[in-house]
Amino acid sequence: MSKRIIEIGTEGCYLHFKHQQLIIERDKEIIGSVSIEDMSALIIDHPQTLITQTCLGKLLDANVMVISSDEKHQPNGMFLPLQSNTLQSERFDHQINATTPMKKNIWKQLIYCKVMMQARMLNDLTGKDMSLKVLAKKIRSGDPDNIEAQAARRYWSQLFEQDGFKRDRFADDQNRYLNYCYAIVRALVARSLCATGLHPSIGVHHHNRYNAYCLADDVMEPFRPIADLHVWECVKEYGSEQEMHKTIRANLLNIVERRVTMDKEMLTLQGAIQKTSQSLGKLFQGEEKLLALPDF
């Protein structure tokens, strides 16, 4: 069963902890409560929200992400536990000492799956894949030819029925929806990596001294097309010009309920991400050579 993502978007909420429950109060009245064990994330969307330090600590102890949003309702930061796996130190050592060929091989697997997923999405939605499957077969270890970028140009030009659409995270169209969905997927990946005992900042391809989630950005790549499909459906229902009101955000949050086929097994998105993270941990330890990735 999927764990719940709770969003606090109402003014004046006070969050505290009691009897293993997240208690939500407003005007000194309890308006809701959620078992912390049933949560995967808490999104604090309203700036006038108070949370106790005890509650924050209990959420982190339970491996629940706490995500803050900005004035445009876009997630802009998160708290994650860094002691969520008993083998953490051993996993960190293997992760840090991973060889360059191993990291390049991991990146090849991730990008191959991503491009094949993009091909599948385009074919399902438009009836043509823009030769993305052909491009995917050209991906080499480490993707030195940047096939990922070549595929992206073809993919984005066809995905949305809008002339001249470009993937631009600052644009005021469906890009806002994509930003939101990607932030949720990124947070789910970071949470799963921590639960597996891996450090989300030590990437295999992404490297940026100012990015605390390089590995999460690596691992989320094959799951981006799933977010793209979710946004495509949202745009069909609501259009692309509306503000990020509560109904749209709730719709986008439902991405955690999407089903993903992996090794012919139907999993929730959260379950699939967790399986990929676990297989990555085993790969770093030399126990496996292939990542568990979505079927395409």
**What CATH number has the domain bearing residue 20?**
3.100.10.20
Structural domain ending residue among the three candidates 28, 49, 79 = 79
**Taking a C-beta distance cutoff of 8 angstroms, is the pair 257, 230 a contact?**
no
Whether residues 58 and 96 fall in one domain: no
Residue 239: what pLDDT?
A: 86
Whether residues 134 and 280 fall in one domain: yes
Which residue would you say has higher pLDDT here, 162 or 263? 263
Domain boundaries, position 29: 4-79
Contacts with 107 (C-beta within 8 Å, 6 or more apart), sequence order: 141, 142, 143, 204, 205, 218
- At 106-127, the pLDDT tens digits run 999 999 999 999 999 999 999 9
pLDDT band at 286 (very low <50, low <70, confident <90, very high): very high
Structural domain ending residue among the three candidates 79, 101, 130 = 79
Whether residues 53 and 97 fall in one domain: no
Cα-Cα-Cα-Cα dihedral sign, residues 200, 204, 210, 211:
negative
Whether residues 225 and 279 fall in one domain: yes
| Pairing of the two strands 65-69 and 75-79 | antiparallel
In a domain, 102, yes or no: yes
What tokens appear for 178 in the block?
């994509």
Residue 143: what pLDDT?
A: 97
Whether residues 153 and 214 fall in one domain: yes
- How many whole angstroms separate alpha carbon 99 and alpha carbon 121? 33
Question: What total number of domains does the chain contain?
Answer: 2
In a domain, 296, yes or no: no
In a domain, 245, yes or no: yes
Residue 114: what pLDDT?
A: 98
Which residue would you say has higher pLDDT here, 163 or 264? 264
Whether residues 92 and 48 fall in one domain: no
Tell me the CA distances in angstroms from 90 to 57, 94, 279, one per residue in order.
Answer: 25, 6, 15
In a domain, 290, yes or no: no
In a domain, 291, yes or no: no
* CATH number for 244: 1.20.120.920
Whether residues 13 and 151 fall in one domain: no
In a domain, 294, yes or no: no
Whether residues 69 and 120 fall in one domain: no
Residue 83: what pLDDT?
A: 64
In a domain, 292, yes or no: no
Tell me the CA distances in angstroms from 250 to 43, 84, 97, 262, 292, one per residue in order.
Answer: 11, 28, 41, 26, 29
Whether residues 92 and 75 fall in one domain: no
Whether residues 141 and 218 fall in one domain: yes
In a domain, 147, yes or no: yes
Structural domain ending residue among the three candidates 26, 50, 79 = 79
Residue 2: what pLDDT?
A: 67
Whether residues 222 and 136 fall in one domain: yes
- How many whole angstroms separate alpha carbon 117 and alpha carbon 115? 5
pLDDT band at 232 (very low <50, low <70, confident <90, very high): very high
Whether residues 151 and 280 fall in one domain: yes
pTM above 0.95, yes or no: no
- How many whole angstroms separate alpha carbon 11 and alpha carbon 45? 9
